[in-house]
Amino acid sequence: MAGETIITVVGNLTDDPELKFTASGAAVANFTIASTPRTFDRQTNEWKDGDPLFLNCSVWRQVAENVAGSLQKGQRVIATGALRVRNYERQDGSRGTSVEMNVDEIGPSLRYATAQVTRIARSDSGGFGGGGAQGGSAPSTDAWGSAPAGNAGGQPSTSAWDTGAPSNGNPPF
């Protein structure tokens, strides 16, 4: 949608993502990211915490299931998505406003952690790379269109950088 405010936020999950399903079966995961800016005070020679931001987030469909199965309370994440403003009426009749984020992409921050990524089979639900009714051939479950060299049996490589080429101990470049 044109005119959306797209942001990236880095912070910690305040709780485990909550996975729910709509009446039509669409998955949605809701979670909150806490992000606190830090600045260095040269006078006191110390880091100071700013005002924390608690951003309510939601993510839909397969990504929601991936988030619920992969991320947990306290983990540092990087998320990007569109902000939306929601107006509501409180129980006392007063009006309120909240700013929330519809997450497009999310993953763990690797600043203080490591991660092992497991690729799942893609469905043709759209997104980057298209999908669906435009092509002339059947979709492939292999995102790159070919099997990796030297990796028989369809087993995942032990290294993300494994090209299947024999290693002589020298860098590949």
The domains located in the chain, with CATH, are: 5-120 (2.40.50.140)
Contacts of 125 (CB under 8 A, 6+ apart): 61, 62, 131, 132
What tens digit of pLDDT does each residue of 51-103 get?
999 999 999 999 999 999 999 999 999 999 999 999 999 999 999 999 999 99
Query: How far apart are the C-alpha atoms of 59 and 101, rounded to whole Å?
Result: 9
Residue 159, pLDDT > 90, answer: no
* 25 has pLDDT over 50: yes
Q: What integer pLDDT is reported at residue 3 of this predicted model?
A: 73
pTM of the complete model beyond 0.85: no
Instruction: Compute the distance between CA of residue 32 and CA of residue 77 in angstroms, rounded to an integer.
Output: 11
| Residue 171 binned pLDDT confidence (cut-offs 50, 70, 90) | low
Residue 38 has pLDDT above 70, yes or no: yes
Give the Cα separation of 50 and 52 in Å (integer). 6
Residues 17 and 14: their CA atoms lie apart, in Å, by 9
For CA atoms 82, 18, 79, 116, give the dihedral sign: negative
Q: How does pLDDT run across 146-158, given as a tens digit for each residue?
A: 444 544 444 554 5
SS3 content of the chain, % helix, strand, coil (to 5): 10, 40, 55
